[in-house]
Structures are given as C-alpha cells and as structure tokens.
C-alpha cells in the first residue's frame, strides 16, 4: 500500500510515531468520508437536482436579460423560448430521476 507520508524510520522517536499515527487516522477518516459520500445515493440525487435547477435558473435569467427590446420591455418570443427550455430541462430531470429509481 502506498502512502502520501513515509513511515517513521526504525529508531524513530515517540513523537514521530505518534505524528505518523495521527496522519494515518486523518487519511483514513478522509477515505471513509469519501466512501460514505459515494454510497449516499439520496444526497447525490439531491445535489444533481440542485445543480440542474441552478443551471436552469441561470439560463433563464440570462435569457431574460438578453430578451428585451430597445425600450427595455420583454421580447415575447425570447421569453417563450426560455420558458420552453426550462420546461424541457425539468421534464428531462424528472425522467432521469424516475429511471434511476427503478
């Protein structure tokens, strides 16, 4: 097994050995945390849904800003297109979540 930290050499002081043990515990804790996160399907799905929502919201806001006429009023065609895209993204997210839950 390879390690980021070399083991204490033969004849190392107690402080060196204790420091090595503490580093090993920290590394093990980080590994356990990473594995726990990977196995938490509910948290992963929630995170993915939040990411999709943030992307859709950002896109809708950008489309809203870009979708104005010269006098500052909303351009109906652009707003309708943005709404359709947001609705499509929502449908895709729902379909993907349902497929994964089977």
Claim: this prediction has a pTM higher than 0.85 = no
HSE at residue 96, side-chain half, CA atoms within 13 A, is: 11
Residues 6+ apart with CB under 8 A from 102: none
Q: Each residue of 18-59: pLDDT tens digit?
A: 999 999 999 999 999 999 988 998 888 999 999 999 999 888
């Amino acid at each position: 097994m390879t390690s980021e930290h070399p083991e204490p050499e033969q004849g190392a002081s107690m402080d060196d050995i204790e420091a090595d043990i503490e580093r090993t515990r920290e590394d093990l804790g980080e590994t356990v945390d990473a594995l726990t996160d990977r196995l938490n399907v509910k948290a992963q799905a929630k995170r993915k849904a939040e990411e999709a929502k943030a992307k859709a919201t950002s896109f809708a806001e950008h489309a809203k800003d870009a979708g104005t006429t010269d006098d500052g009023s909303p351009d109906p065609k652009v707003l309708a297109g943005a709404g359709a895209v947001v609705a499509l993204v929502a449908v895709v997210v729902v379909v993907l979540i349902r497929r994964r839950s089977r």
